[in-house]
Amino acid sequence: EAGVTQFPSHSVIEKGQTVTLRCDPISGHDNLYWYRRVMGKEIKFLLHFVKESKQDESGMPNNRFLAERTGGTYSTLKVQPAELEDSGVYFCASSQTSGGADTQYFGPGTRLTVL
Amino acid sequence: LAKTTQPISMDSYEGQEVNITCSHNNIATNDYITWYQQFPSQGPRFIIQGYKTKVTNEVASLFIPADRKSSTLSLPRVSLSDTAVYYCLALNTGFQKLVFGTGTRLLVSP
């Protein structure tokens, strides 16, 4: 079974540009999460999709970040315009819905560098 | 959401048993104790999860006392490849989002 995949693995952009990160969850997983770790800080939750609906977006830092999950399959996270403080590693995770404490499976992350 | 506290770092030698203790004094009734492992340049990887008493799998054991205010991850006979950061988290069945702390950086030496 394929795991969670993320693309690209690394992106370097200039301040003010736009970047779109993609996450493909494990097939059949309704839940999809985005997290990020900025330099020197802890991994922080951004948002949670259940199928195509945003269940919890309390961690999104500001309106420069837009997450979508059309069709309930893969998800994209767009940062527009990117700022220096957006640099970090963006992780995606997915899980099935069991009604209990669902195990989240993480992708390898996308390293974003904003110059 | 419950806050967890764990050692910043630990050192061990190959072949030893490593126990990492985590405190979670304000754990809620519907919180599960969950441990993740993370290697450099990789995403966190699920190790083990439990609610109370003892849970064991092929990788580790998890001990949770009756009051659930702490837990201990036990790694038997560690090897160099167990060098990683280990995160203790309280996963709430209602919120489902993981709240990461700083984790415990385990260094295994020959």
Do the domain assignments include residue B1?
A: no
Which tokens belong to A68? 């979508």
- CATH at residue B49: 2.60.40.10
Measured CA to CA, the distance from residue B73 to residue A89 in angstroms comes to 27
Task: Determine whether the interchain pair B91/A105 forms a contact, defined as Cβ–Cβ distance below 8 Å.
Answer: no
Cβ proximity of A21 and A5 under 8 Å: no
Q: What number of C-beta contacts closer than 8 Å exist between A and B? A: 53
Alpha-carbon distance A1 to nearest alpha carbon in chain B (angstroms): 16
Q: Residue B73 falls within a domain, yes or no?
A: yes
Q: What is the pLDDT of residues B12-71, one digit of tens each?
A: 999 999 999 999 999 988 899 999 999 998 999 999 999 998 999 999 999 999 999 999
**B90 within a domain of the structure (yes/no):** yes
Catalogue all structural domains in chain A, each as residue range(s) with its CATH number.
Answer: 5-96+107-114 (2.60.40.10)
Is position B91 within any domain? yes
Of B39, B28, B50, which is closest to residue B81 (Cα–Cα)? B39
Residue A48: which of B43, B96, B102 has the nearest Cβ? Answer: B96
Total count of domains within chain B: 1
Query: Structural domain of residue B19, as residue ranges?
Result: 9-109
Residue A23 has pLDDT above 70, yes or no: yes
Closest by Cα among A52, A49, A51, A80 to A61: A80
Tell me whether residue B41 is exposed, middle or buried, using C-beta atoms within 10 angstroms of its C-beta: 0 to 12, 13 to 18, 19 or more.
exposed
pLDDT in tens, A31-72: 999 999 998 899 999 999 999 999 999 999 999 999 999 888
